[in-house]
Structure 1
Amino acid sequence: MRKSRDAVKPTASDAVYETLRHKIMNNQLPGGSQLLEEEVATQLNVSRTPVRAALSKLEAEGLVQAVRRHGYRITPITVQDIHEIYQILSPLETVAAELLAEKNPNEQEVQALQECVDRMDEALQRNDLQAWADADELFHTRLVDLCGNQRLARAAKLMFAQSHRVRLFALRLRDKPVSSVKHHGTLVDAIRQKRPALAREIHGAHRDSWTQTLGHLLTSLNIHQL
């Protein structure tokens, strides 16, 4: 009897990939820092083969760059990169929101999104910024996953991988994201009411506000790359 796909154990390269990706995404490995296959293999107690496979996968996601004779380096994110990321990501999420608002019925999708908003609100009441960030990330993942367009979801998730580092960095420097929770809740209400034009307007306003806030924050701190 064949094992189900869910029962398949992760490979060594999967484990290395998840470990390195977590560190990169949470800024434990800052942009510009170097990664050597041999050092990573020693630290994680594996051979160089799964390390090489993991780094190749991270390179395809744009999180690391191969440097000839010097292994890999964590891809820095510049202010221009941030601008370009959100130029792509914002329209993708807007279309996802419109598609969800056009779905009939869409009660299950609305419930899944509302659950994330509730988690975000509860996390802020506990002053747990990490829990808020986790719920916010889940919200945006569900937004694109549930819209019904798989190509859109794949493209958006590639941008998520690059924007997540920026969001976590800014989270601890900006004001408490109460307004963000409000915007997310209002967006869910528009989807619930099946009003795609309103969903587009709300999401566009939220993204514009966030981009401006992020720009002012980086400028005030004289930060040119992460």
Structure 2
Amino acid sequence: MQTRSLRQQAYETIREWIAANRLPKGSVTSELQLCAMLNMSRTPIRAALQQLETDGFLRIAPKHGILILDSSAQRVGDLLDIVASLALYAFEQQRHSRPDGLPAFADSRLSELRALFAHSEERGDDNADALCRFELDMLHRLVSQCHNAEMERLLRTTSERLFWTLNVRRWNAPYRPETSSLLAGLLASMKESPDGFRLRLFAYVRQLKRTWT
């Protein structure tokens, strides 16, 4: 097994701390503080911070510190638009290269979604975490059909910047019924016309934008 470099270890740990709110959004830290927290020298920490800045998690302000970026409405909207563009491109590619695969993909995901809803009703809870993971997994599976490593990396990075699985508001009252209908409709539209999928996708993304925190 390949050993992770110190830079990669630092990158993954800091990113996890941001996601877990150990480094809260809007807060300021420093290289020295992170060196102490990670018990590493400045070199791998600095390289990790530069990559995290490139990926949009933080901003390095020389002589002032490291600002953990907050989620402004504009920033969230831009990131969700990237997700929508990737999904639409993947759908179009699949429709032209393997049109028979889309109905099977849609039916499989719809079955999973119905099972999640049934499980939620049985337990008497919203099952929001599992539904968020389902959405993200569905998007990753759709994009992976393009066999394009750069697209897959962009989706992974974008969803991480959005803290996708931490944003559960759309699966709570009063938004849950509409979100359920929009997601089921989006999946069903994969078996219909391209225009139908596009309209369903845009409606679903609008719901994400209005409920994201």
**Structure 1-normalised TM-score?**
0.71
**Once the 2 structures are TM-superposed, how far is the Cα of residue 43 of structure 1 from its aligned partner?**
1.7
1:12 paired residue number = 6
Does residue 86 of structure 2 align to residue 70 of structure 1? no
State the SS of the aligned residue for 1:210: helix
The structure 2 residue matched to 1:198, chosen from 190, 196, 208, is 196
Q: For 2:17 and 2:171, locate their aligned partners in 1 and report how far apart those are by CA, in whole Å.
A: 17
Q: Is the 8 A contact 2:129 2:168 kept in 1?
A: no
Q: CA RMSD in A?
A: 3.4
Query: In the TM superposition, what are the counterparts of 1:87-106 in structure 2 within 5 Å?
Result: 87-102=81-96, 103-106=98-101
1:140 paired residue number = 139
Q: Could you tell me which amino acid in structure 2 is paired with residue 135 of structure 1?
A: F
Q: For 2:175 and 2:101, locate their aligned partners in 1 and report how far apart those are by CA, in whole Å.
A: 31
Q: Is the 8 A contact 2:116 2:131 kept in 1?
A: yes
Change in CA separation of 1:184 and 1:162 when aligned onto 2, cut-off 3 Å = same
2:176 paired residue number = 177
State the SS of the aligned residue for 1:161: helix
State the SS of the aligned residue for 1:65: strand
Q: For 1:41 and 1:120, locate their aligned partners in 2 and report how far apart those are by CA, in whole Å.
A: 43
Q: Is the 8 A contact 1:120 1:132 kept in 2?
A: yes
The sequence identity of aligned pairs, in percent, is: 22
**Once the 2 structures are TM-superposed, how far is the Cα of residue 151 of structure 1 from its aligned partner?**
4.7
Moved more, 166-175 or 97-106: 166-175
Q: For 2:189 and 2:60, locate their aligned partners in 1 and report how far apart those are by CA, in whole Å.
A: 44
State the SS of the aligned residue for 2:4: coil
Q: Is the 8 A contact 2:182 2:204 kept in 1?
A: yes
Does residue 77 of structure 2 align to residue 117 of structure 1? no
The structure 2 residue matched to 1:29, chosen from 8, 23, 28, is 23
- Greater RCO, CA 8 A, separation 6+: 1
Is there any run of 5+ residues in structure 2 with no aligned partner, and where?
Answer: none
**Structure 2-normalised TM-score?**
0.75
Q: For 2:45 and 2:162, locate their aligned partners in 1 and report how far apart those are by CA, in whole Å.
A: 24
Q: For 2:65 and 2:167, locate their aligned partners in 1 and report how far apart those are by CA, in whole Å.
A: 26
Change in CA separation of 1:168 and 1:47 when aligned onto 2, cut-off 3 Å = same
Q: For 1:169 and 1:28, locate their aligned partners in 2 and report how far apart those are by CA, in whole Å.
A: 19
Deviations 1:92-138 (A, max 9, x none): 32232333344234267557745763675467445343333233222
Change in CA separation of 1:109 and 1:176 when aligned onto 2, cut-off 3 Å = same
Q: Is the 8 A contact 1:187 1:199 kept in 2?
A: yes
